[in-house]
Amino acid sequence: MKKFIALLLVVLLIFSLVACGNSEKEEQPSNSETENQPDNSETEDQSDNSEAEKPENTRPFIAGTADFSGDFHQGWTNSSYDVNIRRLVWGFGLMTNTPQGEIVDSPLVESKTISDDLTEWTFKLKDGVKFHNGEELTASDVKFTYEFYMDKEALAATGGTSSMSDYIDAITVDEEANIVTFKMKKVIYTTDATVFHETWILAEDTIEDGATAAGQTVQEYVKANISNPIGYGPYKFVEYKESEYVRLVVNPDYIGKAPAIKEIIVRYTPAETELDQLLLGEVDLLPQQVEAEKIDPVKADDNFSTNNYFRHGGGTMVLHTDFEAFQLTEVRQGFAYAFNRPKLIELYMGEYGIASQGPYSKNHWMMFDDDEEDLIGTAAVSRFESSLTDYDILDAQGDFDEDVNIAKTHELFDAAVARTDGEYANFTGDADSGYKWKGEPLNIKIAVTSFWTDTYHLVWNDKYVSKLGFDVTIVGLDWPVMYGHWIGDTDEERQYHAYVGGMSYTIKANPKADYASDKILDWGHPSNNGPRFSGGSSLSPQEWDQLLEDIENAHPITGRDEYRENWREFVRVFNKEVPVIPVYSNNYHDLYTSDLENFDTNALWPWTSAILDANWK
């Protein structure tokens, strides 16, 4: 272990641990103190005129959030609300991203070299970086972290997962030079993002000593302490109170630019009361809001500011392409035309949402030609996007043309009925007498959670459905039950054709990770390929997998154009085959107090990044 490298290092490390430990004890608040922290007037009343700057410098920043799961370590669950805490505590791995989404070396790295054959990635770390408990961060910690996640068996025994062993063959360190070298077994276009971006480095000595004392594996020890993270990022974790808040304070040893905001409280704010809490000054920020009922009052109030941008993801309806009538491309296409997406967007978001035609966002640079780069992140439609089929046919006033869309549905359904090969033989009937699957009236069942039940009933109302020639049944399920059916991880018989959920995109997309045909497992086993899609009528499963391979294996340094063209073909296939209906993409609004300035968020630069450059006026 690295603590035996030199006696001097041990002495210094012990001193750091003691000093930092005492400091943390002094900063621990009682529950009553934490509950009173957001009352800004109390903080201001304690200041005298001779310290006019003190209230601005010591006022905590309070961010509203949905509830945490308390999983503040990577590798187990992936709640975005927990991820926010991880980003504040760690900040970056060996690589990080810019506000524009470019993957770059992180502040941990002094230099990086990649061998000509791409098989060796070598990072020289900066000296003197410290974890929040005073332990020095060295190349040994990096090696420990990656081997921690490469031990799939030990990780799985605690309920964790990782794909690191798929990419890394071996790791070596030069402890004296503080250099770590990764020997890669697999290099792909997204290696920088997949392997080195947001892989948080763990404190080796603390974890190994704790595991030894507890008689646990290091994975068991981290899982047991999953709500008590030790990072090296801009903020130190201080306290977590379940379903209430997380409190963090600025890291005085942070290697980057010291944040002006000295304390952050991330507070659970129920959706029913979050607007009131913002307007009353009980929280300073409500991120990623989508509802006009909350956005408009804040935009009209001079005491608040807003940032808005298109979400890097969106709401979706996932169609099981290997189940009953949804095996047929024309049926999926016809169903997409019948789905009144503009009405759903109006009901849910008012003016603050748009529909897309495939698995992409306005922030994907691959959607734009080189001379269109200034359009990235805006509402503008690129040349490529304009070439895709739009399944919402609008009238002259820009409204959903119900009659024309239904006629298009019938046209496609009739084309499927006219075919008699394979599964098409099971699809019969017509719009007047009703379409049938295996002789029974076609009934498309959509599984939703309780949040969406009322909205989807309004969209697929009885009057509208009566014109379609088939039935639509909306079934409300608890999330775990619905998700089990969605991925096939259930003993229950299959009965749902479509599932309502959401989709978020990574900084660099690798669709093979989600849509390769070998990720479709037999019913009763969890399938990572949500729509169970393997090419549809456009491509054979072999051709589909080859396309995904070509996207993944574009050269990570010189393959930008190749990657973009193959990724666009992936989008074209999705757009034609409709394994997923992209229902909406949110026009997100971050709502925050106007006391905060220099707070610049975007779809690829969340509030946890923007807060580092912000300050109180």
Average pLDDT estimate for 499-528: 93
Q: Among residues 75, 62, 378, which one has the least CA distance to residue 244?
A: 62
The angle, 0 to 180 degrees and rounded to 10, between the axes of the packed helices 560-577 and 541-552 is 150
Q: Distance (Å, rounded) from C-alpha 375 to C-alpha 465?
A: 39
Average pLDDT estimate for 200-223: 98
Of all residues in the chain, the percent with pLDDT exceeding 90 is 88
Question: DSSP assignment, residue 127?
Answer: T
Domain ranges of the chain: 2-284+595-616, 313-506+580-587
Cα–Cα distances (Å) from 261 to 54, 97, 282, 498, in that order, read: 12, 21, 17, 45
Q: How many CA atoms lie within 13 A of 99 on its CB side?
A: 12
Q: How many CB atoms lie within 10 A of CB 129?
A: 18
Band of pLDDT at residue 314, cut at 50, 70 and 90: very high
Average pLDDT estimate for 521-537: 96
Q: Which of 2-11, 74-83, 204-213, 321-330 has the lowest mean pLDDT?
A: 2-11
Band of pLDDT at residue 2, cut at 50, 70 and 90: low
Over 70: is that where the pLDDT of 208 sits? yes
Q: Among residues 315, 363, 359, which one has the least CA distance to residue 339?
A: 315
Tokens of 148: 């921690």
Kindly report the pTM of this predicted structure: 0.83
The CATH superfamily of 2-284+595-616 is Periplasmic binding protein-like II (3.40.190.10)
pLDDT at 592: 98
Over 80: is that where the pLDDT of 56 sits? no
Of all residues in the chain, the percent with pLDDT exceeding 70 is 91
Tokens of 61: 């920043």
The CATH superfamily of 313-506+580-587 is Dipeptide-binding Protein; Domain 3 (3.10.105.10)
pLDDT at 34: 28
Over 70: is that where the pLDDT of 344 sits? yes
Band of pLDDT at residue 58, cut at 50, 70 and 90: confident
pLDDT in tens, 172-191: 999 999 999 999 999 999 99
Phi, psi of 13, rounded to the nearest 5 degrees = -65, -45
Q: Distance (Å, rounded) from C-alpha 357 to C-alpha 385?
A: 8
pLDDT at 57: 60
SS3 566: helix
The 3-state secondary structure of 408-466, one letter per residue: HHHHHHHHHHHCCCHHHHHEEEECCCEEEECCEECEEEEEECHHHHHHHHHHCCHHHHC
Over 90: is that where the pLDDT of 393 sits? yes
Phi, psi of 476, rounded to the nearest 5 degrees = -85, 130
pLDDT at 350: 87
Over 50: is that where the pLDDT of 16 sits? no
Collect all residues with Cβ–Cβ distance below 8 Å to 530 and sequence separation of at least 6. Answer: 318, 486, 487, 499, 514, 580
Burial classification of residue 183, based on how many CB atoms lie within 10 Å of its CB (0-12 exposed, 13-18 middle, 19 or more buried): middle
pLDDT at 1: 55
Band of pLDDT at residue 445, cut at 50, 70 and 90: very high
How many H helices and E strands in the chain? 24, 23
Q: Distance (Å, rounded) from C-alpha 552 to C-alpha 550?
A: 5
pLDDT in tens, 246-273: 999 999 999 999 999 999 999 999 999 9
Q: Among residues 189, 238, 237, 223, which one has the least CA distance to residue 88?
A: 237
Contact 613, 598 (CB under 8 A): yes
**DSSP-assigned letters across all residues of 447-516:** EE-HHHHHHHHHHT-HHHHTTTTSEEEEEE--HHHHHHHHHT--SSPP--SEEEEEEE--SS--THHHH-
Q: Distance (Å, rounded) from C-alpha 400 to C-alpha 342?
A: 7
pLDDT at 80: 87
Average pLDDT estimate for 565-584: 97
Q: Distance (Å, rounded) from C-alpha 110 to C-alpha 295?
A: 43
pLDDT in tens, 108-162: 999 999 999 999 999 999 999 999 999 999 999 999 999 999 999 999 999 999 9
Question: First-to-last CA distance in the chain?
Answer: 47
Over 60: is that where the pLDDT of 53 sits? no
Over 50: is that where the pLDDT of 48 sits? no
Q: Distance (Å, rounded) from C-alpha 250 to C-alpha 57?
A: 11
Arithmetic mean of pLDDT over the chain:
90
Tokens of 412: 């496609």
Q: For residue 173, what are the β-bridge partners?
A: 180
**531 or 348, which is more confident?**
531
